[in-house]
Chains A and B, each alone.
Chain A
């Protein structure tokens, strides 16, 4: 049942990615305090659970390529904040405004986040489809040679 386990890691990662996107969208209007850092757009970094370079540079197989047994799905490698400068909005009445009357808002690409969110949802669904297909194959294999 390795295929379902690989799909499960995909589900886990996409679930986390959605959490990060939700965090970004929730903080889209967070003004930075006058002497504090502004919220930065967060990115979830994911990668193969096994060391992909080592998988590719396998020397023991005589250059026959990847070993099927090293496939083990995806894992969250970490969350990284972007370093884009804040979006300065002139709001002199805002208590968070600096001496020039500017308020620092995070430079979050709203449309980009929405696109990523839909992408995340689709990949999640694709992993579910892959998982149910693996399940279907398992069930079919159980029917093999069954006495009627």
Chain B
């Protein structure tokens, strides 16, 4: 009975690390007059959209519960988290403003 020899273990191929970390963020260029205030307003519009989405999801669920509950809670959660982000932006903006106002000249 002849046993087939076990082949030696081949060297592993070199693994190239996947580039997840150095993601180049796209430069956000708001159309038209790219003022900071306009950017804030655009962000507020998006939050308003999310709140409206959540509102219509709740409305639809109240009328007819054939849509899955998790879609309603997801829409609510999305609206809430973007609202929290907006509050953070506002808090930091105000903080920066106040630091400027309290500056000793």
Residues of A whose CB lies within 8 Å of any CB of B are 1, 4, 8, 11-12, 15, 63-66, 68, 128, 131, 135, 138-139, 142, 146-147
Whether B18 is near chain A, meaning CB under 8 Å from some CB there, is yes
The residue in chain A whose Cβ has the minimal distance to the Cβ of B87 is A142
Residues of B contacting A11 in the complex (Cβ-Cβ under 8 angstroms) = 68, 70, 74
Q: Which residues of chain B from 54 to 98 have a CB within 8 Å of any chain A CB?
A: 68, 70-71, 74, 77-78, 81, 84-85, 88, 91-92, 95
Whether B12 is near chain A, meaning CB under 8 Å from some CB there, is no
B85 touches A142 (CB 8 A): yes
Closest chain-A Cβ to B98's Cβ sits at a distance in Å of 10
17 CB contacts below 8 A, A to B, read: A1-B78, A4-B77, A8-B70, A8-B71, A11-B68, A12-B70, A12-B71, A15-B68, A15-B70, A64-B18, A68-B20, A135-B81, A138-B81, A139-B84, A146-B88, A146-B92, A147-B95
A135 touches B77 (CB 8 A): yes
What 10 additional pairs, Cβ within 8 angstroms, besides A11-B74, A64-B18, A68-B18?
A1-B78, A4-B78, A11-B68, A12-B71, A15-B70, A64-B19, A65-B18, A142-B88, A146-B91, A146-B92
**Chain A contact residues, majority secondary structure:** helix
Give the A-B pair count, Cβ closer than 8 A. 40
Q: Compute how far the CA of A64 lies from the CA of B20 in the bound complex, rounded to whole angstroms.
A: 11
**Chain B contact residues, majority secondary structure:** helix
Most chain A CB neighbours (cut-off 10 Å) among B70, B78, B92: B70
Residues of B contacting A4 in the complex (Cβ-Cβ under 8 angstroms) = 74, 77-78
The residue in chain A whose Cβ has the minimal distance to the Cβ of B16 is A64
Q: Compute how far the CA of A17 lies from the CA of B78 in the bound complex, rounded to whole angstroms.
A: 25
Q: Compute how far the CA of A10 lies from the CA of B74 in the bound complex, rounded to whole angstroms.
A: 13
